[in-house]
Amino acid sequence: MSLLDRDGVRVTVQKAVATVTLANPDKRNAQTPALWRALAETGRLLPGDVRVVVLRAEGVSFSAGLDRRAFTPEGIDGELNFIELARANDEDLDAAIATYQEAFTWWRRNDLVTVAAVQGHAVGAGFQLALACDLRVCAEDAQFAMRETALGLVPDLTGTQPLVSLVGYARALEICATGRFVHAAEAERVGLANIVVPTAELDAATDDLVAALVAAPRNALIETKALLRAAPDRTYDAQRAAERAAQARRLRDLAGFSE
């Protein structure tokens, strides 16, 4: 089933799996506000029986980051360029950035497991989109870089929290401050990549992971993801209590005693 196809985003659904494809390979899947609106709408349109969302990209690069036309006076047709945006008052500027962030937030919903299949460059906004997903399967040619700081900006598309969670504060600061490329082997070593495979095997490895995720009982996976996501913000005893409550719900559900 085709769910959406516009602005460089194509979405299809097959049973419990939705596939979101960045579909502008000629521009290395550079991102625009229109693309972000399409991604945000995707999260709202997903059928309730979707359990796993796969994020793929056409061409040699996952996403080369923000379309640089946004920084020019001419801008992107039909869009407010960032020079004009900078002139907005604080409230309007905050609201605009919050709207852009909506494209990156729904991927961590507890009722979904999201998987990014990354090949080639994932730079800036592309890196942050890969970070928005729960899991990352990478081709051997994958390269991540956070270039915002080098441009006088900050990573503002929800990427800072997952980056620190995955690699720790010191390494996250070094990656962002230098803007250097993190290649696939290092990404796997430091926890950015769950799996690294030869480029020709990227699709197959992603499909294998998706099959394993779909095989797990849905409600148990939802409860487990919720526990793991909340764990860093809880004390040890609070996490123990959350585990007990979640397990009680699962036991009652399995025994047929749930309300």
Residue 182 included in any domain = yes
Residue 24 included in any domain = yes
Per-residue pLDDT of the chain in tens (259 residues, 90 and over written 9): 999 999 999 999 999 999 999 999 999 999 999 999 999 999 999 999 999 999 999 999 999 999 988 888 888 888 878 888 889 999 999 999 999 999 999 999 999 999 999 999 999 999 999 999 999 999 999 999 999 999 999 999 999 999 999 999 999 999 999 999 999 999 999 999 999 999 999 999 999 999 999 999 999 999 999 999 999 999 999 999 999 999 999 999 999 986 6
232 is in which domain, residue-wise? 218-254
User: Do 101 and 185 sit in the same domain of this protein?
Assistant: yes
User: Do 113 and 177 sit in the same domain of this protein?
Assistant: yes
Q: How many domains does the chain fold into?
A: 2
3-class DSSP state of 252: helix
Looking at residue 160, its pLDDT comes to 98
Residue 37 included in any domain = yes
User: Do 109 and 211 sit in the same domain of this protein?
Assistant: yes
User: Could you count the other beta carbons within 10 Å of the beta carbon of residue 3?
Assistant: 18
Residue 42 included in any domain = yes
Residue 155 included in any domain = yes
User: Do 165 and 246 sit in the same domain of this protein?
Assistant: no
Looking at residue 211, its pLDDT comes to 98
User: Do 161 and 228 sit in the same domain of this protein?
Assistant: no
Distant-in-sequence, close-in-space partners of 174: CB < 8 Å, separation ≥ 6: none
User: Do 148 and 230 sit in the same domain of this protein?
Assistant: no
From CA 6, how far away is CA 35, in angstroms rounded? 8
Residue 259 included in any domain = no
Looking at residue 45, its pLDDT comes to 97
Nearest alpha-carbon partner for 9 in 29, 26, 192: 29
User: Do 33 and 131 sit in the same domain of this protein?
Assistant: yes
User: Do 90 and 179 sit in the same domain of this protein?
Assistant: yes
Instruction: DSSP letter for 109, please.
Output: -
User: Do 138 and 237 sit in the same domain of this protein?
Assistant: no
Residue 207 included in any domain = yes
User: Do 210 and 240 sit in the same domain of this protein?
Assistant: no
3-class DSSP state of 66: strand
User: Do 188 and 242 sit in the same domain of this protein?
Assistant: no
3-class DSSP state of 233: helix
How far, rounded to the nearest angstrom, does the alpha carbon of residue 164 sit from its chain's CA centroid? 15
Residue 189 included in any domain = yes
pTM attached to this predicted model: 0.95
From CA 22, how far away is CA 130, in angstroms rounded? 12
User: Do 224 and 125 sit in the same domain of this protein?
Assistant: no
From CA 182, how far away is CA 194, in angstroms rounded? 14
What is the pairing mode between strands 9-14 and 17-22? antiparallel
From CA 245, how far away is CA 236, in angstroms rounded? 14
Say which CATH number the domain at 142 has: 3.90.226.10
